């Protein structure tokens, strides 16, 4: 039993030791990489495929874009040469768009040139003068704003001071109404009948209104109107209070006057006292109207003042904004162009160039050209007819001079790189020691599905027919779709793509730092063109 225990202990110790040693080795292992300098190279983009030799057949030609046919330049039976124009689509609208795109490209180029060249002394002087004028206008606007505020305060104070006088007059009229009501009641309405009770109640209410009016008048005595809102709020409150007391007083005077016309009193109350009641009520109503007008005057003053202040403030803000913009523009004129501005202008130029190139390509695609030397056998379309870029929508059929061609299926990802006329290197299995040359003469626009993969049938002509060639021979072809000479280039192995951007690793001390770059043509030999982001001789990491 002890022997088994010892054996298990030894096994556990060995496992633990192995784990510790392995972890130590892994932690000490350094990531291996190679540094390679950015250099210049010739880059060739190629497509390699295997095709089959076949007998020369009629080539059905269709336009590469839709449109209306403007001209047909050949007739049936006419011999034609490779590259000869056979027909043309209407390009008037494209030409207008191209002219506009070229103008935009010129503007973009001019803007970039101007940015890189910097501002002239004259331009700086003009901007400095404009900024100085804006400062003067700003100071005038600020002074005008201060004047408008002062005038507004003065107008509002005047309106409120007038309201104080109105309140004083209103109190006097309410007090006079109380005195008259007391006199009328003592003189005529003391018997305890219904009319007397009504008059006594109305008199008491008028006396209460008089006392309340006195209280409102006392609340505004000594008010000083300034930037503090409290005095204005107190006076607004007093105006509302006085208005209520005036209305109540007017209503109570009506009741007393009505009682004086009752059968028991219409002959006993003197006509002069009745006239006094009517005149007093008219005076109260006149003060009530003055109160309403005073409140309206205050409201109008506030509204007009705020409008005037807002207008003056808007002028100050607008002028300040103009001055800020001019100063920013002046600083930019005096400063060196920022890298982000240069990148932006370059991007705008590239966008304009791309649009111009697309339109030029569309105009070029408006011409139907012969891919080979041969003879016209059919003309399917006439002037004015509309065509579509489809394999079945043929415009012209041509019989090539060459008796042999190569037919090859090109994968959909590669066919977009090709165009009619691309040069081709041809290796025939039957002639292993020789390399023949040719060119692409047709690319069918309709897809061909082979084992659920999309291909496009492409026809290639020989520049010179090899002696002894037979139909059905296997041909390894290499289509040269693009090439650039003496450009900055790096290995594809150095490139990482992430979120639509391209990065390379550069050594920063002992650490590897990612650097964003812009790439161009990707060659078939494993090299990629560098458009920006790296300089010749700079080293990148290749893992």
The domain that contains 310 carries what CATH number? 1.20.140
Domain boundary among 314, 331, 348: 331
Assess if residue 148 is contained within a domain: no
Beta bridge partners of 60: 397
Can you point out the beta strands (E) in 244-379?
367-369, 374-379
In the chain, the percentage of residues whose pLDDT exceeds 70 is: 94
3-class secondary-structure state, position 127 = helix
Q: How many domains does the chain have?
A: 2
* Distant-in-sequence, close-in-space partners of 8: CB < 8 Å, separation ≥ 6: none
Assess if residue 273 is contained within a domain: yes
Angle at 187 between CA 186 and CA 193, to 5 degrees: 75
What is the CA 113 to chain-centroid distance, rounded?
26
Assess if residue 116 is contained within a domain: no
Return d(Cα 533, Cα 530) in angstroms, integer: 8
Please give the structure tokens belonging to residue 466: 């090899």
pLDDT-based confidence at residue 14 (cuts at 50, 70, 90): low
Assess if residue 10 is contained within a domain: yes
**CA 260 → CA 73, 187, 489, distances in Å?**
117, 12, 116
Residue 121 pLDDT: 83
Beta bridge partners of 398: 59, 376
Residue 103 pLDDT: 95
Please give the structure tokens belonging to residue 123: 């331009």
Beta bridge partners of 374: 80, 400
Assess if residue 418 is contained within a domain: no
CB contact at 8 A, 48 and 411:
no
Q: Which of 13-27, 237-251, 339-353 is the least confident region?
A: 13-27
Q: What's the whole-number mean pLDDT along residues 141-157?
A: 89
State yes or no: pLDDT of 66 exceeds 60: yes
Return d(Cα 63, Cα 288) in angstroms, integer: 91
pLDDT-based confidence at residue 195 (cuts at 50, 70, 90): very high
Beta bridge partners of 399: 375
How would you classify the pairing of strands 404-411 and 453-462? antiparallel
Return d(Cα 329, Cα 325) in angstroms, integer: 6
Return d(Cα 320, Cα 137) in angstroms, integer: 9
Nearest CA among 492, 420, 480, 462 for reference residue 49: 480
Domain boundary among 331, 366, 384: 331
Return d(Cα 511, Cα 506) in angstroms, integer: 8
* Distant-in-sequence, close-in-space partners of 63: CB < 8 Å, separation ≥ 6: 87, 89, 365, 366, 368, 387, 389, 393, 395
The helix (run of H) or strand (run of E) holding residue 182 is: helix 121-188
The helix (run of H) or strand (run of E) holding residue 389 is: none
User: Is-above-0.75 flag for pTM?
Assistant: no
Return d(Cα 86, Cα 90) in angstroms, integer: 14
Assess if residue 494 is contained within a domain: no
Return d(Cα 187, Cα 278) in angstroms, integer: 17
Assess if residue 461 is contained within a domain: no
Q: In which domain, by residue range, is 16 found?
A: 1-30
pLDDT digits (tens, 9 = 90+) for 321-377: 998 998 888 887 777 778 888 889 889 989 999 999 998 998 988 898 888 888 898
Return d(Cα 148, Cα 314) in angstroms, integer: 13
State yes or no: pLDDT of 391 exceeds 80: no
Return d(Cα 13, Cα 131) in angstroms, integer: 83
Q: What's the whole-number mean pLDDT along residues 90-111?
A: 92
3-class secondary-structure state, position 377 = strand
Please give the structure tokens belonging to residue 470: 């037979």
Assess if residue 241 is contained within a domain: yes
Q: What's the whole-number mean pLDDT along residues 424-448?
A: 86
Of 238 and 416, the one with more pLDDT: 238
Nearest CA among 489, 467, 463 for reference residue 477: 463
| Mean pLDDT for the chain overall | 86
Return d(Cα 225, Cα 341) in angstroms, integer: 56
464: left (phi over 0), alpha (psi -120 to 50) or beta: beta
State yes or no: pLDDT of 486 exceeds 50: yes
* Distant-in-sequence, close-in-space partners of 363: CB < 8 Å, separation ≥ 6: 91, 94, 95, 98
Domain boundary among 267, 298, 331: 331
């Amino acid at each position: 039993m002890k022997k088994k225990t010892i054996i298990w202990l030894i096994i556990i110790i060995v496992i633990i030791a192995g784990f510790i040693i392995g972890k130590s080795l892994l932690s000490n292992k350094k990531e291996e990489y190679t540094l390679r300098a950015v250099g210049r190279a010739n880059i060739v983009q190629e497509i390699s495929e295997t095709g089959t030799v076949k007998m020369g057949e009629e080539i059905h030609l269709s336009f590469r874009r839709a449109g209306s046919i403007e001209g047909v330049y050949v007739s049936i039976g006419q011999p034609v040469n490779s590259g000869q124009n056979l027909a043309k689509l209407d390009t008037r609208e494209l030409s207008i768009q191209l002219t506009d795109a070229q103008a935009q490209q010129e503007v973009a180029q001019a803007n970039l040139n101007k940015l890189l060249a910097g501002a002239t002394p004259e331009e700086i002087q003009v901007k400095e003068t404009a900024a100085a004028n804006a400062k003067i206008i700003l100071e005038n606007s600020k002074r005008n704003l201060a004047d408008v505020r002062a005038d507004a305060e003065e107008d509002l104070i005047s309106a409120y001071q007038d309201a104080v006088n109105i309140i004083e007059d209103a109190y006097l009229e309410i007090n006079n109404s109380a005195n008259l009501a007391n006199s009328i009641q003592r003189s005529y309405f003391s018997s305890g009948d219904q009319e007397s009770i009504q008059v006594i109640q109305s008199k008491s209410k008028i006396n209460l209104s008089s006392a309340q009016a006195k209280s409102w008048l006392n609340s505004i005595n000594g008010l000083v109107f300034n930037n503090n809102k409290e005095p204005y709020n107190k006076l607004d409150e007093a105006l509302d209070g006085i208005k209520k007391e005036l209305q109540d007083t007017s209503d109570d005077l009506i009741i007393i006057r009505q009682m004086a016309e009752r059968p028991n009193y219409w002959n006993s109350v003197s006509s002069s006292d009745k006239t006094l009641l009517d005149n007093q009520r008219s005076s109260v109503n006149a003060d009530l109207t003055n109160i309403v007008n005073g409140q309206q005057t205050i409201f109008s003053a506030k509204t007009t003042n705020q409008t005037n202040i807002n207008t003056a403030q808007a002028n100050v803000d607008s002028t300040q904004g103009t001055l800020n913009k001019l100063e920013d523009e002046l600083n930019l004129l005096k400063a060196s162009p920022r890298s982000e501005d240069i990148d932006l202008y370059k991007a705008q130029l590239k966008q304009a160039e791309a649009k111009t190139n697309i339109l030029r390509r569309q105009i070029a695609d408006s011409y139907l050209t012969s891919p080979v030397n041969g003879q016209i056998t059919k003309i399917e379309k006439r002037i004015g007819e509309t065509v579509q870029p489809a394999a079945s929508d043929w415009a012209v059929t041509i019989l090539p001079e060459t008796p042999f061609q190569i037919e090859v299926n090109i994968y959909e990802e590669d066919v977009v790189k090709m165009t009619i006329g691309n040069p081709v290197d041809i290796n025939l299995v039957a002639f292993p020691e020789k390399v023949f040359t040719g060119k692409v003469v047709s690319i069918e626009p309709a897809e061909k599905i082979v084992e659920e993969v999309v291909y496009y049938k492409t026809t290639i002509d020989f520049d010179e027919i090899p002696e002894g060639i037979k139909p059905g021979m296997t041909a390894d072809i290499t289509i040269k779709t693009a090439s650039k000479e003496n450009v900055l280039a790096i290995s594809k192995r150095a490139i990482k793509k992430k979120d639509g951007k391209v990065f390379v690793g550069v050594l920063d001390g002992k650490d590897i730092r990612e650097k964003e770059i812009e790439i161009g043509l990707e060659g078939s030999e494993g090299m990629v063109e560098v458009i920006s982001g790296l300089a010749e001789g700079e080293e990148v990491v290749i893992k």
